[in-house]
Amino acid sequence: MKRKVSRGKINSLNFIKRYLYFLGRIVKNIIQKQYSFFILILIGVTFFYFGLAWGKKSENPGEGPINSLTNFMGELVKPGELVKNANNNKPEKVDFDIFWKAWSNVEKKYIDQDELNSQDMVYGAIKGMVDSVGDPYTSYMNPKEARAFSSDMEGSFEGIGAELGMKDGILVVIAPINGMPAEKAGLRAGDRIIKINQEMTSDINIDEAVSKIRGPKGTEVILTVISQNAEESKEIKIIRDTIDLKSVSYEQKWGNIAYIRISSFSEDTASEFNKEITKVIADNNKGIVLDLRNNPGGFLNIAIEMASKFVSRGSVVVQEKHQNGTVQKFESLGGNVFSETPVVILINEGSASASEILAGALSDINGSKLIGQKSFGKGSVQELKEFSDGSSLKITIAEWLTPLGKSINKTGLEADIEVEVTEYEIKNKIDSQLNKALNEMSTQIKNK
């Protein structure tokens, strides 16, 4: 059975044949009669235009070769359509002429032309665009910065061992990591960093600050900080080291109380936690003190997996509220071995993000008491978009809500039992917050 072909397609095929025949004759005459260089240029432009239209039509997978060819030839006789379609992704009411004029002026007039790198200019333009939204957690990372960020999340890198954040436009320490150079040098949660190696931090974002503070093992960085309730700044010299995180530790305290410290929510945290669970159960503990102090957070899925050990299956652990008002609920995954075990949770101003999610879930669902100080209040959700050149975009897309719908962004979680830490206790290594948590848990066990 013969396939029907429309008259329009027959005409297009005839046009293609005539067009190719005409080009062939020109090329032959060029070879034999040495036509002018102008005609060579004309042919080159023709093939470029031909390829541009063909490339556009090849974006439509599923077209047969004949249909694709004849349809794309239709574009050749409507060049205005190519220009129109090229601008489809251009935002409305945005004048890009200013951008290209600025670009052109830099390319033509900048004094050190040898120092110009077009790709770096592109990265800088994107970074400036992203920074203009004014959100410290929305950032663009060039390939080098993206690799450094990835190594952080894997749990091993070289630096000082501290999580940084922004509060009211000021660079602050969310949490120094236990046992790492920052903590040993005296850096504390809540410290405001005003200088990095004598360079002011007022005009840099978090990723730039991290890049300046991080460095090879054995090198020194000097941070000028103002501690909470202090009026004068002080310099803290820190020798960088390899930061290899063990995110979960456990020991049994008096009265058969399990003390579990979680320092981050990295890729290995859930597996480390599962290993410690067997010890907690084997030691016949009757209650748990969960220490989330100075825990800057990490992966959402890890926080949900760990919360699932404490709450019944199907319980809403956290909610995500998006810009259009929709709310996505994340439920526990099961395996709730500690759902009947009393738990108290230690938090402070260094508890952020995923640690606030876990603390908020156990507080809302099980009524677990929060002891210590108000948490940091990092309740926004970032999505990481990786690009083909190795760069990436970290963009805030939503905010966290606790199971009962309370927002923690910029407000944090209030401690049910507040315990301030004094300078005397810090110097003498007295942990009054932990002592209060152990006493509270001992009371709960007796009253159970």
* Residue 26: burial class (beta carbons within 10 Å; 0-12, 13-18, 19+): middle
Class for the domain spanning 156-244: mainly beta
168 is a catalytic site residue: no
| Residue ranges per structural domain of the chain | 7-86, 156-244, 248-447
The residue from 127, 309, 369, 378 that is catalytic is 378
Which superfamily does 248-447 belong to? 2-enoyl-CoA Hydratase; Chain A, domain 1 (3.90.226.10)
Is 389 annotated in the active site?
no
Quick one: average pLDDT of 186-207? 89
Give residue 12's pLDDT. 47
Q: How confident is the model at residue 210 (pLDDT cuts 50, 70, 90)?
A: confident
Which residues, 6 or more positions from 432, have their beta carbon under 8 angstroms from its beta carbon? Answer: 419, 421, 422, 425
Give the DSSP letter string of 141-177.
Answer: E-HHHHHHHHHHHHTEEEE--EEEEEETTEEEEEEEP
SS3 209: helix
Residue 39 has pLDDT above 70, yes or no: no
CA–CA gap between residue 85 and residue 348 (Å, rounded): 54
Neighbour order of strands in the sheet with 257-262: 248-253, 257-262, 287-291, 343-347, 369-372, 417-418
Count of other CB atoms within 10 angstroms of residue 393:
17
Looking at residue 17, its pLDDT comes to: 52
pLDDT band at 68 (very low <50, low <70, confident <90, very high): very low
The reply to whether the predicted model has a pTM over 0.85 is no
Higher pLDDT among residues 34 and 330, named by residue? 330
187-200 per-residue burial string, b: 16 or more CB within 10 A, e: under 16: bbbbbbbebbeeee
Coil, strand or helix at 53: helix
User: What is the token pair recorded at 28?
Assistant: 């032959």
Contact 272, 234 (CB under 8 A): no
Over the stretch 81-128, which tens digit does the pLDDT of each residue have? 434 444 556 666 778 888 999 999 999 999 998 889 999 999 999 999
Q: How far is it, in rounded angstroms, from Cα 29 to Cα 223?
A: 74
Q: Which residues pair with 369 in a beta bridge?
A: 344
Active-site position among 152, 191, 291, 364 = 364
Distance (Å, rounded) from C-alpha 419 to C-alpha 437?
Answer: 10
Is 378 part of the annotated catalytic residue set?
A: yes
Least confident stretch, 28-37, 52-61, 210-219, 242-251:
52-61
Q: Give me the count of residues in the chain.
A: 448
| Direct distance between the N- and C-terminal alpha carbons of the chain, in angstroms, rounded to an integer | 85
Q: Which of 247, 266, 353, 391 is catalytic?
A: 353
